[in-house]
Structure 1
Amino acid sequence: MSAVMAVAAVVAFSHRQTPPLAATRLPVEKTQFDSIVHSKAGLVIGGELGKLLYSGDDGKDWTAATVSPDRQALITQVVFAADGLRGLAIGHEGWILRTTDGGVHWKEVAFDEKNGEPFMGAANLGDKVWMVVGAFGRALKSQDDGQTWQPVTLPAGVEDKHLNRIVGSADGRQWLIVGEGGLVLRSNDGGQDWAVEPAFYNGSFYDAIALPAGGWLVYGMRGNAFTQHADGPWQKAEMPGPVSFFGHAVLPDGRILLVGQGSVVATSSDGGRHFSFSRAAGRATLTDIALDASGTGWIASDAGLQPYRVAEMSDASGTSVAGTKP
């Protein structure tokens, strides 16, 4: 595994036997969370010790979801289908959990304590089809809305690579899987067949974005991010410093926010070609971000959750609207 990996990946390979938490309120400001996402239930977060919580009031109050059984294994990502009700939580030891009510209740559908490498990325490919990817080239697909899973055959040479995320275009036809060693896999048929992109970088990619105007942005370690438009060559983005990034948000006005090491937030207003840096509160490794249409929301990190608001938003006409960072 490369020297620098996403926080979730590092923790996922470090097996921990931790006693159950006492039945007290979980301090979300101090707990590591690796994923935060909107659903029909509100905001849903997942992280250390298998914690899955939801909030129906924009993060003011958090309720522990019902998890059956509670394995206390690290949650690396939470994702939902377009309906905001059906979703997956994936993590350490090959753990896959399924929900049908927006994240209020979760039921285990896969777990392998002895031989289960961590899953790092999950996606709904459309209708009842789901796919998860993870360590050592492992990939599974479900055709029955996540209830049962079968192995996916990926191109040769992928089996020793860690696959960090799977991301799809808005129409669900094009997909990317990104991973270590600069690995990018592409599918142009809805995730049926995959091919390896010609190498253009040898470091790890942690995530990708299907750009609103078309094309892709992939990003990862040491401030390396690349864009591709109209199937052209991958172009390196201009980044102020070598900061690794692990999560992102795309605003209604098209701006892209990346979050990563040292509480750094990188912002691009030109489709990912150039980024500027700002800093969220504290000094933490930021793992994910979820914002509403006004640019207000939450950032997840290895030090807990923190509220965040984009410093300046634009309305539909392009007029600037002032904001603040709490």
Structure 2
Amino acid sequence: MNRPFRVLAICLACALPFTANAFQNPLSLPSKTIPHPDQAPMFAIAQAGSRTVSVGRHGVIAYQDRNGKAWRQAKVPVSSDLVGVSFVDERMGWAVGHGGVVLHSADGGATWAKQLDGKDAGQAALAYYRKHADDLGPENRDTVLKQAARWAEEATAQPFLDVWFKNESTGYIVGSFNRIMRTDDGGKQWIPLIDKIDNPGELHFYTVRGNGDDVYIAGESGSVWRWDEHKGKFILVKTPYDGSLFGLVLAGRAVLAYGMRGSLFRTFDRGASWEKIKTDVRGGIVAGDVSQTGEIIVASQSGDILRSSDNGGSFARAADPLPTAVAGLLAFPTGAYVTVGPRGVRTGESANRVPQSR
């Protein structure tokens, strides 16, 4: 089963010796304060106004203001590995990770509170579908109820792998084995959507991204799903690829999906047709972002940095790969970027030369 680099990195990072007597539930154990939080293994990064926020191993969250002062560590109530983060403005943000945990910050990432964990999510999903069983229809009622029951039984065993919020109220969380939920009240209540997505094989969801009213999810087997308002569900818009797709970049009308073996695909018609974009990268592309100026930057797990200024039609490789693996990337309007990975946070410089618009 193919999995994104950041999930592999987390699994490897957690493969440490322990004794049963020493175990403490990471969902009830606050993250430990460390001397240099920006040097801890990190798996995702986001922008909160003029602040940069990264999330990583053992619940460590680090943030830095644009003034360039030292990175500071946030107060986090869990020590679970965190792998996804989303901010809608300079204050409101959410992070997700192992144990099915969902965290919320209302102060730009300085302090966090737990909104949800895998046990609560599973119980909520099961209760919701039992209550609405008659609305599911005979063709999928049993399937959905069985999935919800497994979700509740597995409790904290499955992670949420990504989060995206449209505004302070509406957001989505996605994860392994068809786990997907939506909130319309900022995370006070989460509604399961396993009956609202074309995923009979219970493929993993690796990322969720949106642009305006369009919301996309990418995952295993070259799968991309798009929210269809008319049908009231996520419909499958299959790409010409059968490997895992780890991420999405939404740049205006263009949607780029990237994944294993340097794979990169672009669509301008909401997934009806896709074109393969040349990258000349062998490793999996695991991170990407678009700056406010429209430049698209993607990174491979091997540290390759590719940049495009023609809406993703062509990419130029940076002169030298980064000396470390990459798990997440954030692009700035200046052309600079920040990456995160097993060695923490690293800042990249502006490019000397990028492809020009066609």
TM-score where L is the length of structure 2: 0.77
Mean alpha-carbon deviation: is it higher for 158-167 or for 15-24?
A: 15-24
Structure 2 counterpart of 1:228: 267
**Bigger radius of gyration, 1 or 2?**
2
Residue type of the alignment partner of 1:25? P
Structure 2 counterpart of 1:85: 91
Distance 1:263 1:177 in 2: 24
- Considering fraction of residues, name the structure with more helix: 2
Residue type of the alignment partner of 2:86? V
The within-5 A match list for 1:1-326 is 1-2=1-2, 5-12=3-10, 23-29=33-39, 31-40=40-49, 42-67=51-76, 69-70=77-78, 72-81=79-88, 83-112=89-118, 115-116=155-156, 117-152=158-193, 153-158=195-200, 160-169=202-211, 172-189=212-229, 192-212=232-252, 214-231=253-270, 232-278=272-318, 282-312=322-352
Change (3 A) 1:13 1:163: farther
| Deviation of the 1:57 alpha carbon | 4.1
1:178-200 Cα deviation digits (max 9, x unpaired)? 00111111114399521111342
Distance 1:281 1:226 in 2: 22
Q: Which runs of 5+ in 1 are unaligned?
A: 319-326
| Deviation of the 1:21 alpha carbon | 7.6
Structure 2 counterpart of 1:322: none
Distance 1:208 1:228 in 2: 11
Structure 2 counterpart of 1:321: none
- Considering fraction of residues, name the structure with more strand: 1
Q: Which runs of 5+ in 2 are unaligned?
A: 23-29, 120-153
Change (3 A) 1:282 1:195: closer
Change (3 A) 1:209 1:23: closer
Distance 2:243 2:161 in 1: 17
The 4+ residue runs of structure 1 with deviation greater than 6 A are 17-22
Distance 2:250 2:225 in 1: 14
Number of aligned residues: 306
Change (3 A) 1:191 1:45: farther
8 Å Cα contact 1:236-1:273 kept in structure 2: no
Q: Once superposed, what is the RMSD of the aligned Cα atoms? A: 2.6
